[in-house]
Amino acid sequence: MQEVQDLFHITGWELHEVGEPPRIRTWTLDPEDLGSDEVLVEVAGCGVCHTDLGFHYDGVRTKHPLPLILGHEISGIVVSSGPSSSSWVGQRVIIPAVMPCGECDDCTGGRSNVCSDQLMPGNDIDGGFASHIRTPSRWLVPIPETFEGDIAHLSVIADAVSTPWQAILRSEVEDDDVVIVVGCGGVGGYCAQLARSRGAHVICLDVSPEKLDSMARLGFEHLREVSGETSRECRAWLRELTSSEGWASKGWKIFECSGNPSGQTLAFELIGPSGTLAVVGFTMSKVSIRLSNLMAHDARAFGNWGCQPEYYPELLERVLSGAVNLLATTERRRLSEISEVFESTHHGETAKRTILIPDELWEG
């Protein structure tokens, strides 16, 4: 006779009204209610992203109506499943931030990141600021059994690390390329580390001396504080630097990661001959640019939304091999401190990516 599984008692923190502190929600889940291809993941950690802050403070609309549990940078362990997903039970996993349907024209045509039927935790479905999350199993990324660290630190791979990785792949960053990262906190810092791991010469631009100091501690040497500096002055410095180092004067690959209007304007104005601009950061604000620069320089610009799930295995292997220093760039806090963490992150008071840990798993 098949053993009957107990109900799962779940706790989460939901956004119920824009600008109001998240409130606690508790509920139970009967494992029998899981769809055939669904799993229940016990959350080990969930990173706090500026997208979450956009939903919380700026009124950026979630696709699922409020109330909704936010959080899309999730790692954990599968504790239950539907009938066709039982092989996942007990497996440690990362949940991709964007999960496509895998069957539509966009998915079969290589653009699954814009699948109209995609699911994003904390946007389309309840997310990871909870003790558990119910999710499809199709795109789960298994964490190697050989990994001996805290899998909570791997949660940020789901977005902060994977999003710039896709932009790097689409920009075709190669050995000896000149890569310029505008905005080096969070996503930008991971972008710089990943570009370096592909052999690129990386230059970091930011308005914050503290963020540039953090990049210096990660071994980056070519740093520039651009606060109050014109794009012309910045271009002149870049030309002088690349010339003195013997690097390419054309074909620069620029990654806009600040999500700030001034950063986006600077990044666009740095485009030169045969250059590439990847827009990775997000802002609701508009910018004024001369679009003909792209034509004049025979350059290209593209936006990057999330990361296609098929890119995750190689990325995870690269991260675990040391390409990205997660321990130095993340900090752990209790999930019950979510309101304080949101506030401090919103006001720029946190230098590291914060990962919220369910209180029952907290060990300090």
pLDDT tens profile 80-96: 999 999 999 999 999 99
The mean-pLDDT minimum among 195-199, 210-214, 346-350 falls in 346-350
DSSP helix/strand/coil, 318 = helix
- φ, ψ (nearest 5 deg) of residue 56: -75, -45
> Which domains does the chain carry?
8-159+307-361 (3.90.180.10), 162-303 (3.40.50.720)
Q: What percent of the chain has pLDDT over 90?
A: 94
Whether the CB-CB separation of 193 and 168 falls below 8 Å is answered with no
Residue 107 clears pLDDT 90, i.e. is over it: yes
pTM: 0.94
pLDDT in tens, 120-169: 999 999 999 999 999 999 999 999 999 999 999 999 999 999 999 999 99
Count Cβ atoms within 10 A of the Cβ of residue 77 and give its class: 0-12 exposed, 13-18 middle, 19 or more buried: middle
Walk across the sheet containing 23-29 and list its strands: 23-29, 8-15, 68-69
Residue 2 clears pLDDT 60, i.e. is over it: no
Please tell me the distance from the alpha carbon of residue 104 to that of residue 38, in angstroms, as a whole number: 20
**56, 178, 179, 191, 303 from 279: Cα distances, Å:** 23, 17, 13, 12, 5
What does the pLDDT read at residue 351?
81
Whether the CB-CB separation of 250 and 272 falls below 8 Å is answered with yes
Question: What are the start-end ranges of the H helices in 83-161?
Answer: 105-108
